[in-house]
Amino acid sequence: MAKYREPADLYPRDGAELARKLIDDLGLDVRLEEGQPNQDHYDPTSRTVRLSPDNYNGRSLTAVTVAAHEVGHALQHAEGYRPLLLRTSLARTAMVAEKLGAFALMAMPVVAVLTRSPVSGAGMLMLGIGSIAIGALVHLVTLPVEWNASFDRALPALKDGDYLPEQHLPHAKKILTAAALTYVAASLASLLSLYRWIAILRR
């Protein structure tokens, strides 16, 4: 994505303008907001597409392609795409599970000392590892939702609307692939966190 942020003024529309055009063309009842840096996402609770400042204001290939990807999620929601609805609930579960797992692992030594029971400590360890592993798995199983938003929603919209020159589409596909792999990256980060905890506990 960093590679295709240049040239920064490649298109007449910035990411926000393209997103708004797609939203209007698709007849979607969603809001569009400038969000936090590096936090492009669609919020199904408030029906809001949020683009990071770089992508909201940028006119690069990355900006317009990421904008289309997030509108793709809004289109999924409008059409009642069930995997997206499932992903939304699972994502909440993943966040809670990861926090619970981290807390259990930090509390494990204290619980073991207070209870003077190896079983209690082992139970907290299993709870912590299991919770973090669940979080990683949940992130991983949401990949089809991201893939659908990229290649069944965003890419056709960009093609059909002639928003990108034909020669730019192969590069846009690379960006859409990166956007679709966001949750895979989150899953790998969770697994690395799990490995770090196991390494610490083995010392």
List active site positions. Answer: 70
Distance (Å, whole) CA 44 – CA 102:
27
What does the alpha-carbon distance between residue 125 and residue 137 come to, in Å, rounded to a whole number?
18
Specify the residue for token string 């991201």: 146
- Reading phi first (left if > 0) and then psi (alpha if -120 to 50, else beta), residue 33 is in beta
Of 47, 52, 58, 43, residue with least CA distance to 13: 58
- Grouping H, G, I as helix, E, B as strand and the rest as coil, residue 48 is strand
